[in-house]
Amino acid sequence: VTIIITGAGGQLGTALKKQLSKKTQSRIIALNRNDLDITDEQAVKECFKKYQPRYIINTAAYNAVDEAEIYREHAFRVNFAAVETMAKECRKYSTKMIHFSTDYVFDGKKKTPYQEEDACFPLSVYGKTKLASEEIIKENGIDYLILRISWLFSDVSTNFVRKILAQLKKDAFITVVDDQKGCPTAAESVSEVVTLLINNHPTVNGIFHYSDLPVTNWFDFAKEIQQRLNENNEISTKDIRPIKSTELMTKAPRPHNSVLDCSKIKKLLGIEQADWREKLAFVNETIGILEL
Ligand SMILES: NC(=O)c1ccc[n+]([C@@H]2O[C@H](COP(=O)([O-])OP(=O)(O)OC[C@H]3O[C@@H](n4cnc5c(N)ncnc54)[C@H](OP(=O)(O)O)[C@@H]3O)[C@@H](O)[C@H]2O)c1
């Protein structure tokens, strides 16, 4: 079985490449942006023709939530149009598509965790592009899995953990919003879920939610990250101050509650959600090598 991973240089792509090579017998073709630009229709077609994969795992995406408000067309090209191209090729070659969406498809007005069938009202361009990608996959009549995940982090690429570490290193004190509730999720946890889906449930289709636990907010998450730093590191005691979303004024609005109800995937796989706090061990290594 051949499995293609797109965006293989990113957080999830890196984690998946590692997990799947270890835990499946499949041939893993991990393609980073230089190997395959998913917006290049011809290149995507050639790639399918060459490998005729059983699975394509699309982790390539335009994830800059605020910049997407300005570079709207580009965001749609990467997050939607390219997904449509790949879905059409999947139909041609009977390839199953594994794709990732986001908690930002929801508006955050619900008081309890979001279930898969809850109505989507994305607040941002990014959220809209990801919702559009879900719809185009479903419409194409192919085998698919869409995992909606939240607040992804790992020791590579761009993410909140690395941003907080860089800011702590640079600034006298930092401010972080405390009025957006959600669940950080390690790329490693998501790649374990995908591995189980491929190995144990090859015929299952549909949308699933997955996040790690516990529920937190960005301010408390930042404090947890700081607490993982060695005590002798001078930035382990720098001040982190809570602020409100209205004070921060980001270009893209974000949901106040984006906690995902993960019962459906837990039941299918017979797993518990991982604890993201146990996945932060890399911070001490990362802080040393972070470029400012
Ligand atoms: N990050 C989050 O908090 C989060 C939350 C919920 C859902 N998700 C979803 O989870 C998935 C994986 O996200 P991630 O955090 O692993 O992303 P990531 O670290 O940003 O990785 C995405 C990769 O895709 C590459 N890429 C961008 N445009 C491309 C193109 N046209 N062709 C090929 N590759 C391209 C990027 O390359 P460059 O670095 O060179 O641009 C990057 O290596 C995405 O679908 C994302 O929407 C992420």
**Tokens found for residue 247:** 């004070």
Catalytic residue among 62, 114, 126, 210: 126
Spatial CA neighbour of 213 closest among 161, 267, 272: 272
What would the pLDDT profile of 166-210 be if each residue is shown by its tens digit?
A: 999 999 999 999 999 999 999 999 999 999 999 999 999 999 999
Q: Among the atoms of ligand 1, which is closest to the Cα of residue 152?
A: 3
Q: Is 237 exposed, middle or buried (0-12, 13-18, 19+ CB in 10 A)?
A: exposed
Residue 26 CA, ligand 1 centroid: distance in Å: 23
Report how many helices (DSSP H) and strands (DSSP E) the chain contains, helices first: 11, 12
37 CB less than 6 Å from ligand 1?
yes
The C-alpha atoms of residue 89 and residue 49 are separated, in whole angstroms, by: 9
Q: What is the pLDDT of residue 218?
A: 98
Nearest CA to ligand 1 atom 7: 102
Return mean pLDDT, the chain.
96
126 included as an active-site residue: yes
The C-alpha atoms of residue 134 and residue 98 are separated, in whole angstroms, by: 11
What would the pLDDT profile of 128-180 be if each residue is shown by its tens digit?
A: 999 999 999 999 999 999 999 999 999 999 999 999 999 999 999 999 999 99
Report the run of H or E that residue 148 belongs to, with start and end. Answer: strand 144-149
What would the pLDDT profile of 229-265 be if each residue is shown by its tens digit?
A: 988 888 899 999 999 999 998 999 999 999 999 999 9
What is the average per-residue pLDDT within 83-90? 98
Q: What is the pLDDT of residue 232?
A: 84
Nearest CA to ligand 1 atom 45: 100
287 pLDDT tier (thresholds 50, 70, 90): confident
In this predicted structure, the answer to whether residue 292 has a pLDDT above a threshold of 90 is: no
In this predicted structure, the answer to whether residue 290 has a pLDDT above a threshold of 80 is: no
The C-alpha atoms of residue 223 and residue 226 are separated, in whole angstroms, by: 5
Residue 167 CA, ligand 1 centroid: distance in Å: 22
Q: What is the pLDDT of residue 291?
A: 64
**Tokens found for residue 265:** 């995937």
59 CB less than 6 Å from ligand 1?
yes
**Tokens found for residue 59:** 């982790």
- Asked if residue 55 lies in contact with residue 3, where contact means CB atoms within 8 angstroms, the answer is yes
Residue 150 CA, ligand 1 centroid: distance in Å: 13
118 pLDDT tier (thresholds 50, 70, 90): very high
Residue 60 CA, ligand 1 centroid: distance in Å: 4
